[in-house]
Amino acid sequence: MKTLNTAINTLVLSLALTGSLISPGAAAAQAKTAVAAQQQACACFEVKVTGQGPAIILIPGVASSGEVWQSTVDALQGNYQLHVFTLAGFAGVAPLPMPSWGEGYLATQQQAILRYIDEQKLDKPVVIGHSLGGYLALALAANAPEQIGAVINVDGLPALGALFAQSNTQGSTATTAGAADNKPQRGNFDPMAMAKGMTNDASWQQRIVADMYRSDGMTSGRVMGELMQADLRPQLNNIRVPVLTLGALQHGAPYSTPEQVQANYEQQLANAPTQYHSFAFARDSKHFIMADAPQWLNQQIQQFLQQHPHRGQ
């Protein structure tokens, strides 16, 4: 667990450095390519809408584009209306001005998503989120169950910082100092090494790196800092809509066994009422399940949607 703690430190530090690796001209060019997206007045995200039917919102993670959901869009768009988000500050979308953060990025995005549901007159949409998006989906299930129909959390944790603290306790109090000594510098930060820890697929590794370079480093670093401090666990007992958590059991490899990763998930989500919450685990997948096990992921999503049809009145 000591090495896992070091990896978490490295993730936060390296994401904060990513912004120094992209030129302002490249960022502006990427922003201008989003002509097909619907840019919200709040500037909290851009949305691409496809398909017809009951509404589903898909939210990617830190430094990711909504394009990570493309295989799921392909699988669902014949039967659902899909609202695919790219959050502010990530993958070429302009960052939120700091005065707009209010209580923080996580709270601001939760409020903006609920406002979007209201403004677009979406009838209890299903919310599917990966990583940061999974955290936001869980937060909506816990704090606004009357406005959504169901949630699928794809490899997101309600309390990332608690996992960090646990690894400190089980490892060594010197771990944090060691991580600081080995923190990445601008000259030797290797985004590809990070991407290889998130997926086994070489083309997806390239995609992840490209999205990181197109993202605002300040936003990525601050959002990871917020996720390290956030703790949804006490609120999970408020969940009153169906929730499925899909865990990637190779996410901690080689520093954690699949059994340890699964136990961490079960402990973190123990407060979610069992009549509403269920698990499924991708044993051979790293963090980007849509890259390592896309058929399995889409099968789990479709099965869940069939078991829990549209809950709108």
In a structure prediction context, what are the per-residue pLDDT tens digits for the chain, which is 313 residues long? 443 444 444 444 344 333 334 333 333 333 333 333 344 445 899 999 999 999 999 999 999 999 999 999 999 999 999 999 999 999 999 999 988 888 899 999 999 999 999 999 999 999 999 999 999 999 999 999 999 999 999 999 999 998 866 655 454 332 222 233 333 344 456 899 999 999 999 999 999 999 999 999 999 999 999 999 999 999 999 999 999 999 999 988 888 899 999 999 999 999 999 999 999 999 999 999 999 999 999 999 999 999 998 765 4
Contact 61, 106 (CB under 8 A): no
- pTM of this structure: 0.84
φ and ψ of 243, to 5 deg? -135, 130
The neighbour count for residue 243, using CB atoms within 10 Å, is 26
Query: Using an 8 Å Cβ cutoff, are 305 and 78 in contact?
Result: no
- CATH code assigned to 2-307: 3.40.50.1820
Give the CA-trace dihedral at 255, 259, 265, 271, to 10 degrees. -140
